[in-house]
């Protein structure tokens, strides 16, 4: 499940989407819609590999944004603009995908003026972006009293677990007059802060009690009896699995399904019946995140939106339990 949790749209009527990057060779077939008929070869660009644990998620986001922007296949005849034009009330001054509530992002932009009508230019650009891009929809923003019409398409790359929450490219076009189009391309990468080393199950955990709460997802169901596990090898595997979960993406106005109160609960203890050293609750409905606490103190949520059901299934498999969850 992919979501873009950016709260503020700069332009009226702008919806939210995700995007991505790559490079390749673009050929304009004779008679095709576009600024001109030509053959254009673009240098292949591959995302850089992290140099190790010392490289921060933010640095990786900056590197990926640079690659995404460099991978854009520029239409023939385009001239680079040094800054956003004033046309239409400055419709291209800012990426409408960026807004308040998204503190961890990198946005790198490029601007060009291209021969041709806006919709033809956008159709050409959309058709000639590298295959590694995954199209993620488009939109038309109707003009307001002080702005021109704007057309936009978006593309995405898969997230990088625990590092980059989303990677997108947006292509926006507006009519520049005199048979020309202004185009803005943004490489927007949302990164996750690394999970603190202190947010881990304490070393003293020797047993885990697993219980299930069906909630209103299955109102007639009787909760399964809790199971306490003390086999050292299994405990180590369960601890490692929870400790390896990434921080959940920041809540940028996420719209989640109704939470029906169903979850899988893991209490990590030093001894059977002892106080919980750490608790992990994998929510099976709603946003599908994993709530986590240490010594009764709530920690940032873990996992990805909608991913807790798969996490719960893996934890049950590690524990050797064949429970059917709601």
d(C-alpha 165, C-alpha 9), whole Å: 19
Please enumerate, as own/partner, the contacts of 286-290 that have beta carbons within 8 Å and a separation of 24 or more. 286/256, 286/257, 286/258, 286/259, 286/260, 287/254, 287/256, 287/257, 287/259, 288/1, 288/256, 289/248, 290/242, 290/245, 290/248
Q: Which is higher by pLDDT, 16 or 312?
A: 312
The span from the CA of 271 to the CA of 78, in Å, is: 69
Please tell me the predicted confidence (pLDDT) of residue 14: 33
Give me 125's structure tokens: 């650009």
* DSSP states of 247-266: BPPP-SS---------EEEE
Backbone angles phi, psi at 89, to 5 degrees: 70, 20
Task: Single out the residue of 9, 20, 12 nearest to residue 157, CA to CA.
Answer: 20
Question: Which of 143 and 62 is assigned the larger pLDDT?
Answer: 62
Whether residue 246 contacts residue 161, with contact meaning beta carbons closer than 8 Å, is answered with yes
Taking alpha carbons only, the member of 17, 324, 305 closest to residue 161 is 305
* Three-class secondary structure of residue 233 per DSSP: helix
133-158 pLDDT per residue, tens: 888 877 766 655 556 788 999 999 99
- Is residue 312 pLDDT above 70, yes or no? yes
Share of the chain above pLDDT 70, in %: 75
Write out the two tokens for 206: 């020797």
Helical H segments across 17-117, by residue range? 57-71, 87-90
Cβ distance 83 to 148 under 8 Å?
no
pLDDT of residue 97: 65
Q: Choose between 258 and 38: higher pLDDT.
A: 258
* Separation of alpha carbons 2 and 5, rounded Å: 10
Q: Who has greater pLDDT, 118 or 250?
A: 118
**Predicted pLDDT at 147:** 63
Asked whether the beta carbons of 288 and 258 are under 8 A apart, the reply is no
> In angstroms, rounded to a whole number, what is the distance separating the alpha carbons of residues 240 and 227?
19
What tokens appear for 191 in the block?
């990164």
Helices (H), the chain: 57-71, 87-90, 118-127, 232-243, 308-319
Whether the model clears a pTM of 0.85, i.e. scores above it, the answer is no
What are the φ and ψ backbone dihedral angles of 57, each rounded to 5 degrees?
A: -60, -35
Write the pLDDT tens digit of every residue in 246-303.
888 776 555 788 888 899 999 999 999 999 999 999 999 888 999 999 999 999 899 8
| CB contact at 8 A, 33 and 120 | yes
Count of C-beta atoms within a 10 Å radius of residue 58: 17
């Amino acid at each position: 499940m992919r979501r873009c949790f950016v709260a503020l749209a700069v332009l009226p009527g702008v919806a939210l989407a995700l995007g991505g990057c790559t490079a390749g060779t673009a050929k304009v077939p004779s008679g095709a819609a576009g600024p001109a008929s030509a053959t254009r070869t673009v240098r292949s660009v591959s995302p850089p590999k992290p140099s190790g644990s010392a490289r921060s998620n933010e640095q990786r986001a900056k590197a990926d944004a640079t690659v995404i922007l460099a991978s854009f296949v520029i239409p023939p005849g385009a001239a680079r603009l040094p800054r956003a034009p004033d046309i239409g009330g400055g419709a291209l001054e800012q990426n409408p995908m960026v807004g308040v509530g998204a503190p961890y992002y990198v946005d790198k932009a490029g601007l060009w003026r291209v021969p041709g009508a806006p919709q033809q230019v956008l159709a050409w650009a959309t058709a000639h972006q590298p295959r590694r891009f995954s199209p993620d929809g488009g939109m038309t923003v109707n003009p307001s009293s002080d702005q021109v019409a704007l057309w936009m398409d978006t593309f995405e790359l898969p997230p990088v677990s625990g590092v980059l929450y989303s990677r997108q490219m947006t292509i926006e076009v507006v009519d520049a007059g005199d048979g020309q189009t202004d185009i803005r391309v943004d490489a927007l990468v949302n990164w996750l802060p690394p999970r603190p080393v202190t947010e881990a199950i304490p070393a003293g955990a020797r047993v885990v009690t697993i219980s299930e709460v069906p909630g209103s997802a299955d109102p007639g169901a009787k909760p399964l009896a809790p199971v306490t596990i003390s086999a050292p090898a299994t405990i180590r595997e369960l601890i490692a699995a929870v400790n390896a979960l990434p921080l959940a993406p920041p809540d940028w106005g996420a719209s989640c399904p109704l939470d029906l109160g169903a979850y899988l609960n893991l209490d990590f203890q030093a001894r059977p019946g002892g106080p919980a050293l750490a608790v992990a609750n994998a929510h099976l409905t709603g946003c599908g995140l994993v709530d986590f606490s240490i010594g009764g103190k709530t920690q940032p949520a873990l996992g990805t939106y909608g991913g807790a059901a798969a996490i719960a299934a893996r934890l049950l498999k590690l524990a050797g339990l064949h429970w059917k969850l709601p």
